[in-house]
Amino acid sequence: MGVSEVIFEHVIQPGTGKAVEMRAGQILRIEQVEGGQCVDFNCFNLNDYKEFMHCGRTRTVHGFHPSKGTFLWSGPPREHAMMFILEDTYGRNDVLFPRCSAYLYESAYGFGVHTNCQDIQAEAQREYGLTPDDVHDSFNFFMCTEVSGPHRAQITRQSSRAGDYVDLLALMDVLAVTNVCGADVMRTSNFALKPIRLSVRQATDAERAAAPPTPILRSQRTPESFRVRNIKADRELRADPTYRPEFKNVPLMVEDVPVELSANEMAILAAVRQPIYGDDDGAALRDVLFSWWEERFLAGSSGAPVISNSSDSP
């Protein structure tokens, strides 16, 4: 596969970050200079900053450690695949942990001022008029984490090396904000901060073709469909006296569906029913019905979309 010419290059030093404009079809390479450095990343729709990469949605679709072959998604109500991870030579990333913050370093370590991803992201994106409140949870590249028990996750040391990189293909015009994670007193970057090289180049046809199509659905809303289209420009929240709720599909009418079960089917129901329903046969059978439907027709877990091929969903 041929590689196109680099059109932008920048080395972000410890304590800093950089906002980079990218057009759809360009590739951002995030590369280790010395190795062992966690990189926080966020991106916004360049033409509408209210759409941005959403870790929760990305985590739901691709799990806790998305890597090569996965997407960076925006959150509801947009839910677009914004970028595609075309290459990932280290293969360890995290979307469990939020960005570190000044509050963390003050509360846990007593620092008055300390490098942190919230403030670095905010300072980098200030170039485009965005405020600190516009920073969102970051995709943490080269960050090693693991679920350490039934209720906790933890950060572990990492072993990325100089030259390890991730290539992110922009699927829409984005502002990509990348920073050297400020955590020097945690394991995240093995207790030392190192520079990171950024470069942008045009994707080749083959690289663009490597991103599988994602479903384009009516539910991927745009501001044109919003009842409130304008971005609120003041800070105080006040109720609109003309507001009348217009929730969808309400009232949710309920209908009785009688189903005649044979003695044998009643015995089967008894064998598979969830104990939480007690003697409520209808609720137990409804659970069986939708559990079966999920097993038979849902391609991805937790409602994740089908990324390639056609859906078998009715």
Partner 1 sequence: MAPAQTNRQFTAKIVTLRLNRQQLELIDRTVARGVAPDRASVVRLALKEYAASRNQLKQRN
Residues near partner 1 (CB under 8 A): 249, 252-272, 281-283, 285-286, 288-293, 295-297, 314
Q: Tell the smallest beta-carbon distance from residue 246 to partner 1 (Å).
A: 17
Q: Tell the smallest beta-carbon distance from residue 280 to partner 1 (Å).
A: 10
Q: Tell the smallest beta-carbon distance from residue 287 to partner 1 (Å).
A: 9
CB nearer partner 1, residue 7 or residue 270: 270
CB nearer partner 1, residue 129 or residue 275: 275
Q: Are 122 and 180 in contact (CB under 8 A)?
A: no
Q: How far apart are the first and last CA of the chain?
A: 39
Q: Tell the smallest beta-carbon distance from residue 294 to partner 1 (Å).
A: 10
Q: How far is CA 157 from the centre of its chain?
A: 22
Q: Tell the smallest beta-carbon distance from residue 285 to partner 1 (Å).
A: 5
CB nearer partner 1, residue 50 or residue 296: 296
From the list 197, 175, 166, 160, the residue with the least C-alpha distance to 68 is 166
Measured between alpha carbons, how far is residue 103 from residues 57, 155, 279 in Å? 26, 18, 50
From the list 3, 5, 13, 11, the residue with the least C-alpha distance to 193 is 13
CB nearer partner 1, residue 33 or residue 269: 269
Decide: residue 167, CB within 10 A, 0-12 exposed, 13-18 middle, 19+ buried: buried
Cα–Cα distance for residue pair 156/189, rounded to 1 Å: 9
Q: Tell the smallest beta-carbon distance from residue 310 to partner 1 (Å).
A: 13
HSE-CB for 114 with a 13 A CA cutoff: 21
CB nearer partner 1, residue 191 or residue 292: 292
CB nearer partner 1, residue 230 or residue 264: 264
Per the rule left: phi > 0, alpha: psi between -120 and 50, beta: everything else, 178 is beta
Q: Are 53 and 136 in contact (CB under 8 A)?
A: yes
